């Protein structure tokens, strides 16, 4: 089963975190992934709509492509429960001192 080109493009962007569309197109061409300009733009648009990348214009002819980093909010109660469970587990072994 072939890997969709969109996944390949996303993997190339993820490897470097941020690059220009010109650099990305050169990387894809070097890996024998020849795309038309329309197909290339559609893939970038799809990835941006999915929230995986962010595309911004740098100059008239060049765009900056960056990976979107999603940070998970830390649940303080869950974190405290986890620490308590770990301490209780360690304390359940009698005679073992740190």
Query: For residue 78, is it within any domain?
Result: no
Query: For residue 98, is it within any domain?
Result: no
Is pLDDT of 3 > 80? no
Domain holding 15: CATH number? 1.10.10.10
Structural domain tally of the chain? 1
Q: Are 22 and 63 in contact (CB under 8 A)?
A: no
- Distance CA(65)–CA(13), nearest Å, equals 8
Is pLDDT of 2 > 70? no
The HSE-up count of residue 45 (CA atoms within 13 Å, CB side) is 6
Tens-digit pLDDT profile for residues 78-98: 889 999 998 888 888 877 665
Tens-digit pLDDT profile for residues 14-48: 999 899 999 999 999 999 888 999 999 999 999 99
Of 34, 35, 53, 37, the closest CA to residue 45 belongs to: 53
Dihedral pair phi/psi, residue 5, rounded to 5°: -60, -30
Whole-model pTM: value is 0.68
Query: For residue 26, is it within any domain?
Result: yes
Q: Which domain holds residue 40?
A: 5-67
């Amino acid at each position: 089963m072939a890997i969709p080109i969109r996944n390949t493009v996303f993997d190339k962007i993820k490897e470097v975190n941020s690059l220009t569309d010109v650099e990305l197109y050169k990387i894809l061409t070097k890996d024998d992934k020849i795309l038309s300009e329309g197909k290339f733009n559609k893939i970038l648009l799809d990835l941006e709509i999915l929230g995986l990348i962010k595309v911004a214009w740098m100059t008239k002819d060049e765009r900056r492509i960056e990976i979107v980093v999603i940070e998970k909010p830390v649940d303080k109660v869950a974190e405290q429960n986890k620490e308590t469970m770990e301490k209780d587990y360690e304390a359940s072994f009698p005679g073992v001192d740190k």
